[in-house]
Structure 1
Amino acid sequence: MPKKATNLHSLARGRIRASYSKFNLFNLYKKSRFNFLYKNLYQQKWTAKQETRAYHGEFMTEGRWMTTFESKPETVANLVKTDVGSVKSHAQEKATPYSIQTFAALERRLDFALFRSMFASSVRQARQFIIHGNCFVNGLKITSPGYPLKAGDVFHVKSEKVLQALGSKKPSLEESLKIDKTQIFLWNKQVKKLQANPRESLQAFTQEMKKLEDGDSRKEQYLILINKYNSELESRIVDERKNCSETNLLRKIYDCIDQNKKSKKDLTAKDFQPYYLNNEFLASSIEKIYKDTIKQLDITPFQEKADGAEEKTTNAELASRILESSKDNELARALRNDLTALKSPYSKAIEVFFKTNKASVQEGLPYDPEWIFQLKKHEPLEATVEEVKENEAKYSKMVNLPWQKGFYGRNDPKKPYFTPWKPKPFLAPFAILPHHIEVSFKTCHAVYLRDPVARPGHSEVISPFGLDIHDRAYMYYNREGL
């Protein structure tokens, strides 16, 4: 039986554990350099043994660990060349950290291999996965956490368990409902503020982002937004250049006609302007073409199929059919000439549109009043926790924020982790993969290549402690009579 986890991540004791816990990260951060100045040799060895064992196999009793300990660590010999002119002295060669191999025997255990492969957030969680039958070695289910791996063994964990281990904690229904009510309130407040003073709000936001330091996470997100906006703008400009033809210009007129069909009003330049890069000259020219030519054309938007039925053609097909009839139709011929004359101004308008609408950190995002007034307030969520518990799926559909659909962290209530999945906070400092294991996160499989070894200046055993600590820990365990 493993040792009980009593106050494992105590901030007062400050022990460093084999865990991705945020409290463990704080203990790692505040751990100062060990001072052995006023301690005798045995006290130094005892302190080193305490600290290293808190990380390496803390769940094992001392007696059980001593049956695993190997006094002769596996290392690579340091051979020095003897050729004249290329000889390096022993002082110049990097020393081999033999003592860090003190706990190399633990790395062969299946529970440690799962933790090193980032399939579990701690060794204790890895043991739980194994005991509950979620781990397989070479296709066979293994339920013994201490199973010794051999070179070439392939092991894997069920993907849902890996997502649970590396994902954020799933909030309770009470926590999720409280967060969503707060988000809806703040969103409605922000929408009201933006619609009251849209231009001033955008300028104030741009000035705030400019003042932030380069390393600030909010400024990084702002830069990502600007780059995304510019890339979408460039893609649109490329498409506009490719489609700068009479057919495309005419298709946009019919798109505008279809969009305003319900209003049953005469279209003006203001209606055409959004379809033609918000260019006033193009919009007024298109209005003249619409009134003088298109309203006079007797072209049906329907065409007969083979079986005698009729179907509505697309606007692109309709525009192409009208321009093809320009050989015999005088109005269609005049329409083609007018559209051909607009191709050059349209190309210039594309360049102007790109320059005036390109975003930057200094200038910010371009002001678009239509986008501001398209923002809609969210209906307040008045349901109580008891009502939501009776029918969570029904109330979950009522949460429809721009960045979130459904309850916070509970898109799929059946999953044991935060949904949609997002990584555990403070995971990056622990994301260190060993040299002796090859990991595939796409399939949650890993290959145990070989036992970890020590080379000149490098050990494959991952440890938060320095060589001086491991030297004393090795001296403590490598003694006669044990």
Structure 2
Amino acid sequence: MPRKFHGLKKPKVRQDWSKETLYNLSRLVTPPASRKTFFQQKWLAKSMTRAYHNPYVREGQWTRMFDRRLPAVVSMNHQYLARHDGSEQASGRGSGVEESPMARFDGERGQENRIDKTPYMHMTYHPLERRLDTAIWRALFASSVKQARQLVVHGWVKVNGKKMIYPGYQLNPGDMFQVDPERVMYATGARKRKKTSPVSDQDLRAEREADEQGSRVAKSREEQELEEQSEVEDEESEAGAATLESDEELEVMGTKPEDEQDAKKAMKNLLARAKRILEDSKRKLSGKRLQELRAFTQSLRKTMSKHGSKTESSQADEGSIEDLEVALAEIMTKIPEDSASTEATSTQQAKASADAINKSANPQMQDPEKTDEYVARKDAELLHAALERARANPVDPTKPYATPWKPREFMSAFAFIPRYLEVNQNICSAVYLRHPVARPGLAEVPTPFHSETMALAFNWYLRRR
């Protein structure tokens, strides 16, 4: 086994469930061949593919296992074979009568007879799929080929009812192999943090992430509340500044009360501010505040009508204007409280309506006598489901794996079973049905590499033989 089993500088894909393998799979590309000789291309493809396909097998042993005859099958219709002897396939050959094979239509079978390419080169390492350790890894009984090899060597695997301690045993079609269920749960389950506690590193990491997420949510809520408060303050400032849009109002508010020579401008400014508050659709004012604003506008109009020419005393004008300013300020101070109270009442009404809907949806909740029975039955159902889960997956500190059992991390990306295996996860046993073969458009040997890379690796071993 190499020292750096998971290389991140050069992506090395391995047969295991790990974050390094998942990361290298995302970076895996066909190596460029523009600046390499054909020998270098073949050697690089050989090293990449052998790093994935059971690198624990020595190279000399693998070259003896290598077979240039790649198994493949062609799907054929038995009814068509019973009717014809095959001579019709050669009719018109060479005379230009036959059509393109990619667009040939078979009227008897009622479908387009598309001839897909058979990926023969993906079957380069098909002899390794017969090995017992590889079959255990493919059946999801171990988290890596190395772990499957360890299970075999330690005597936890049986083939056809007999203990098998040789990981290189070649399976034959129909052979059944079985792994001890406790070892499978230990191999594929989450690891314990300590021997005395059933908690795993995954649980602690999940709790830490949940705490961090909760703190982030709390911070985001605080930020939202601060933003809402700032928005409310901005709206209030905009509402106050909106009263100063016209040039006349700006001129009037820019001057001090003692310097005002024309009191009508100040009164017009106050009237415009009151109108803008009334017409502002964003504010949800209560009835009392609306009445006060309307009364304020009426009193303001009365004072404007009573206001005479410029020859009248300016002190009386200044006193009336100051009184009106104070009245409008008092009304403005009461408006935010009313809006908050109206929002609170609206939320209470919404909650009450939701409760009423829930009660109407559940006919048993309408009768107060049946509420206790309904709640007791629901609690009993939840308790029964929890007990069933606890019986199926109990907490046991004596187990070598973390309990309750959880699958190991990064398992979902590699959880697939090839066609040539029939697996029973309940008893941790599987049957090797047949040897893997290549079909039109499908190769049954799982591999992450491109067909060009596999073809170069096959040519390397083909030359060596």
TM-score by length of 2: 0.53
> Which letter maps to 2:193?
P
2: distance between equivalents of 1:97 and 1:182? 42
Deviations 1:220-240 (A, max 9, x none): xxxxxxxxxxxxx99x96782
Match of 1:142 among 164, 171, 182: 164
Structure 1 gap ranges (5+) = 195-199, 205-232, 256-274, 278-404
2: distance between equivalents of 1:182 and 1:109? 37
Between 457-466 and 132-141, the greater mean CA deviation after superposition: 132-141
1:221-232 pair list within 5 angstroms: none
2: distance between equivalents of 1:9 and 1:412? 34
Q: Retained in 2: the 8 A contact 1:410–1:418? A: no
> Which letter maps to 2:115?
E
Tell me the equivalent position of 2:305.
none
Match of 1:450 among 422, 434, 450: 434
1: distance between equivalents of 2:402 and 2:207? 18
1: distance between equivalents of 2:56 and 2:427? 29
Match of 2:48 among 46, 51, 66: 51
1: distance between equivalents of 2:123 and 2:62? 14
1:461 equivalent to 2:445? Answer: yes
Deviations 1:188-224 (A, max 9, x none): xx8xx99xxxxx99x99xxxxxxxxxxxxxxxxxxxx
2: distance between equivalents of 1:20 and 1:426? 6
Q: Retained in 2: the 8 A contact 1:108–1:148? A: yes
Tell me the equivalent position of 2:123.
101
1:159 equivalent to 2:181? Answer: yes
Tell me the equivalent position of 1:65.
62
Alpha-carbon spacing, 1:412–1:87, altered in 2? closer, same or farther (3 Å): farther
1:9 equivalent to 2:6? Answer: yes
Deviations 1:91-125 (A, max 9, x none): 95211111111100000111000001111111110
Alpha-carbon spacing, 1:449–1:410, altered in 2? closer, same or farther (3 Å): closer
1: distance between equivalents of 2:139 and 2:121? 23
Q: Retained in 1: the 8 A contact 2:17–2:409? A: no
1: distance between equivalents of 2:452 and 2:119? 10
Alpha-carbon spacing, 1:181–1:437, altered in 2? closer, same or farther (3 Å): closer
Residue 174 of structure 1 deviates from its aligned partner by 10
Q: Retained in 1: the 8 A contact 2:192–2:200? A: no
Residue 183 of structure 1 deviates from its aligned partner by 6.3
2: distance between equivalents of 1:425 and 1:161? 17
Q: Secondary structure at the match of 2:423?
A: strand
Alpha-carbon spacing, 1:172–1:46, altered in 2? closer, same or farther (3 Å): same
Alpha-carbon spacing, 1:250–1:148, altered in 2? closer, same or farther (3 Å): same
1: distance between equivalents of 2:206 and 2:411? 27
1: distance between equivalents of 2:100 and 2:431? 37
> Which letter maps to 1:53?
R
Deviations 1:246-280 (A, max 9, x none): xxx6576xx7xxxxxxxxxxxxxxxxxxx899xxx
2: distance between equivalents of 1:166 and 1:69? 31
1:423-442 pair list within 5 angstroms: 423-442=407-426
Alpha-carbon spacing, 1:181–1:433, altered in 2? closer, same or farther (3 Å): closer
Tell me the equivalent position of 1:337.
none
Tell me the equivalent position of 1:391.
none
Q: Secondary structure at the match of 2:398?
A: coil
1:36-435 pair list within 5 angstroms: 36-77=33-74, 82=89, 89=101, 93-172=115-194, 240=364, 411-435=395-419
Deviations 1:28-53 (A, max 9, x none): 11223311111111111001000000
1: distance between equivalents of 2:460 and 2:200? 54
Alpha-carbon spacing, 1:183–1:39, altered in 2? closer, same or farther (3 Å): closer
Structure 2 gap ranges (5+) = 77-85, 104-113, 226-356, 376-389
2: distance between equivalents of 1:276 and 1:58? 62
1:31 equivalent to 2:155? Answer: no
Q: Secondary structure at the match of 2:410?
A: coil
Q: Retained in 2: the 8 A contact 1:164–1:416? A: yes
Deviations 1:411-469 (A, max 9, x none): 43322222111111221111121011111212211111100000111100000101000
Alpha-carbon spacing, 1:183–1:62, altered in 2? closer, same or farther (3 Å): closer
Q: Retained in 2: the 8 A contact 1:20–1:430? A: yes
Instruction: Give the CA RMSD over aligned residues.
Output: 4.3
2: distance between equivalents of 1:116 and 1:45? 27
Alpha-carbon spacing, 1:412–1:39, altered in 2? closer, same or farther (3 Å): same
Alpha-carbon spacing, 1:172–1:453, altered in 2? closer, same or farther (3 Å): same
> Which letter maps to 2:164?
I
Alpha-carbon spacing, 1:240–1:450, altered in 2? closer, same or farther (3 Å): same
2: distance between equivalents of 1:73 and 1:6? 33
Residue 25 of structure 1 deviates from its aligned partner by 1.0
Residue 128 of structure 1 deviates from its aligned partner by 0.3
Tell me the equivalent position of 1:311.
none
2: distance between equivalents of 1:72 and 1:46? 21
TM-score by length of 1: 0.51
> Which letter maps to 1:13?
K
**Greater C-alpha Rg:** 2
Deviations 1:167-192 (A, max 9, x none): 122113799699879969x98xx8xx
Deviations 1:133-187 (A, max 9, x none): 1111111111110111111111111111221222122113799699879969x98
1: distance between equivalents of 2:6 and 2:139? 22
2: distance between equivalents of 1:465 and 1:181? 33
